[in-house]
Amino acid sequence: MSGGESSVAPGVPAGDAPVLAGRTALVTGAGRGIGRAIGIALARAGASVTLVARTHADLQDVAAEIRANGGAASPIVLDVTDESAVRAAIRELPTHDILVNAAGTNRPEPIREVDIRTLDALMAVNVRATFIVTQAVVSRLLDESRTGVVINISSQMGHVGAANRSVYCMTKHAVEGLTKALGVELAPHGIRVVSIAPTFIDTPLTRPFFADPQFRADVLASIPLGRLGQPEEVAAAAVFLASPQAALITGSSLLLDGGWTAR
């Protein structure tokens, strides 16, 4: 199997095999939060998963959990903002037919307080690294005439605006633009590109914000379903989008926002 989705009828897994059996996946930001949950879910669905993050201990913990449940995981310590290291690593790794760009960061600040370090940091992780990793993985697929799926973890803030999040919103709108552009460009090659746009998810990155009771109350009041999302819910969407069931979906965004953007 070459990683293509054309080996089975769209939406129909082969026999009783897990929906991603025989697939290879690379997940950035896989040490914690959403990336961790996605790595575990993809492995549970049958994919062999390469886990990428900066912290060795976090990666070992995720890999151990996957292996304990019978899955296949390879942890790789890598800073996705280091272009040369990223390109060298992807050249040495097997070709991946699923890529999940889950590495991301945020520093909420009023516009007049944003300094160049904040701007550069968010652009480096949320935009530049997403582009570079995608370019490297997709180039391998194109060179080998393989099909695949790129899943960008965006945000509801890639669809709307919010106070004190000018840089974050800008970066996530960029991710949505990249998703659309590559969805069109790569469709003739059988490579789908999609994004997942979650609302606030309960992760180590967001928990410090919710220590402020007023902030938590304001956020929950803006989510019609009245609750935060969980990493496992984003992971379930990633498994679906990576699977043959989503074979007609490309260049678009799946909003997991509890109704935030419907207002």
CA 231 to the chain's CA centroid: 11
Q: Is the pTM of this model over 0.85?
A: yes
φ and ψ of 98, to 5 deg: -130, 125
The 10s digit of each residue's pLDDT in 77-113 is 999 999 999 999 999 999 999 999 999 999 999 999 9
The 10s digit of each residue's pLDDT in 196-223 is 999 999 998 888 989 999 999 999 999 9
- Catalytic entry in 29, 124, 168, 200: 168
Question: Is the Cα dihedral 194, 44, 137, 165 positive or negative?
Answer: positive
- Catalytic entry in 23, 159, 165, 172: 172
Domains parsed from the chain with CATH numbers: 18-252 (3.40.50.720)
Active-site annotation holds for 180: no
SS3 category, 98: strand
Active-site annotation holds for 168: yes
The 10s digit of each residue's pLDDT in 127-147 is 999 999 999 999 999 999 999
The 10s digit of each residue's pLDDT in 7-25 is 333 333 445 689 999 999 9
In the DSSP assignment, the letter for residue 193 is E
